Amino acid sequence: MRGWGAVKQRQAERKQRRHAERHLRTVRRVGSGPIVLGTPIVDGTDVEIGDRFMIWSGHRQTLVSGSGRIRIGDRVFINSGAVVFSEVGVTLGDDVALANEVYIMDTSSHGVEGREPVESPVVIGSGTWVGARAMVMPGVTIGSRVVVAAGAVVTKDVPDDVLVAGNPARVVRPLTYPPYCRRAWHDKYCSCPGTLFGPPMIATLESLPEGSAVD
Ligand SMILES: CC(C)(COP(=O)(O)OP(=O)(O)OC[C@H]1O[C@@H](n2cnc3c(N)ncnc32)[C@H](O)[C@@H]1OP(=O)(O)O)[C@@H](O)C(=O)NCCC(=O)NCCS
């Protein structure tokens, strides 16, 4: 792009960069190219984020908060209204996607019958897609490339490459992906070779060692 169009594009990019910097200013470390749409609250006291982070805050405000250790991998997407609240530790691997109004907590905040509140780290494996309004409860570890169906309440650990659904969430079935695919939401929008945003299938596959994952 040249001329006036290029100037406008550079202005828009600068504006977007400043917007992201403003909303992620309390984050201890942010990788390259974060995109922030709307006005999320990201005020956790120990947050680190990888490259190409996307966070949207539209119909409901998105929140990443608490005094726990929040670690977010590369290419993670957090959609509008999602809440990540940590008092101990929440880890989102690479390529994790949290849909609208997902709730992830590592503390129950209050105890029951005089007991202490449950406080235990949450880990969500790389490539996992957590569907709209699902909840992930304290102490849960979810594997890689898992699909958590909309509205699921995940109370127990989940292995790799499965679909879980329901309250409490149960494994519905195993999932299969091409060996080079990183993400549970594997469709034309995936960045796998041969998809809308991915590199051409043939060139990529020829240059890959067998079983490799590609971005
Ligand atoms: C899970 C999902 C991806 C469907 O995947 P799918 O492979 O097409 O699954 P199917 O429709 O074949 O369902 C498999 C089983 O899980 C059940 N199931 C699917 N979604 C479910 C849900 N959200 N809650 C409870 N059960 C669900 C189905 O009823 C079916 O049960 P059955 O085998 O007893 O008939 C979809 O239901 C879903 O939850 N999508 C989330 C979308 C979203 O949050 N988008 C936000 C934008 S990022």
Q: What digits encode the pLDDT tens for the residues 59-95? A: 999 999 999 999 999 999 999 999 999 999 999 999 9
pLDDT for the residue numbered 212: 55
Whether 159 and 108 map to the same domain: the answer is yes
Q: Is 84:101 a contact under the CB 8 Å cutoff?
A: no
Whether 166 and 191 map to the same domain: the answer is no
Residue with tokens 């490339």: 145
The residue among 171 and 185 whose pLDDT is bigger is 171
Return the amino acid letter for 29.
R
Whether 44 and 103 map to the same domain: the answer is yes
Whether 169 and 185 map to the same domain: the answer is no
**What CATH number does residue 105 fall under?**
2.160.10.10
Determine whether the shortest distance from the Cβ of 165 to ligand 1 is under 6 A: yes
pLDDT for the residue numbered 207: 58
Whether 97 and 198 map to the same domain: the answer is no
Cα 48 to chain center, whole Å? 13
Whether 113 and 192 map to the same domain: the answer is no
Q: Is 175:192 a contact under the CB 8 Å cutoff?
A: no
Residues in contact with 178: Cβ distance below 8 Å, sequence separation at least 6, in sequence order: 186, 192
**CA–CA separation, 73 and 56 (whole Å):** 17
Q: How many domains does the chain have?
A: 2
Q: What is the pTM of this model?
A: 0.90
Maximum CA extent, the chain: 68
pLDDT for the residue numbered 213: 54
Q: What is the mean pLDDT of residues 38-52?
A: 97
Q: Is 97:130 a contact under the CB 8 Å cutoff?
A: yes
Q: Which of 163, 170, 175 for a ligand 1 pocket mutation test, highest count of atoms within 8 Å of Cβ?
A: 163
Whether 167 and 208 map to the same domain: the answer is no
Whether 194 and 137 map to the same domain: the answer is no
Whether 163 and 182 map to the same domain: the answer is no
The residue among 208 and 131 whose pLDDT is bigger is 131
Whether 135 and 209 map to the same domain: the answer is no
- Write b or e for each residue in 51-76: b if 16 or more Cβ atoms lie within 10 A of its Cβ, otherwise e: ebbbbbbeeeebbbbbebbbbbbbbb
The catalytic residues are 110
pLDDT for the residue numbered 49: 98
CA of 143 to the centre of ligand 1 (A): 18
Whether 140 and 211 map to the same domain: the answer is no
Give residue 206's domain range: 178-215
Residue with CA at minimum distance from ligand 1 atom 30: 172
Q: What is the mean pLDDT of the chain?
A: 91
Determine whether the shortest distance from the Cβ of 168 to ligand 1 is under 6 A: no
Whether 20 and 44 map to the same domain: the answer is yes
Beta pairing class for 97-98 and 77-78: parallel
**CA–CA separation, 12 and 180 (whole Å):** 34
pLDDT for the residue numbered 66: 97
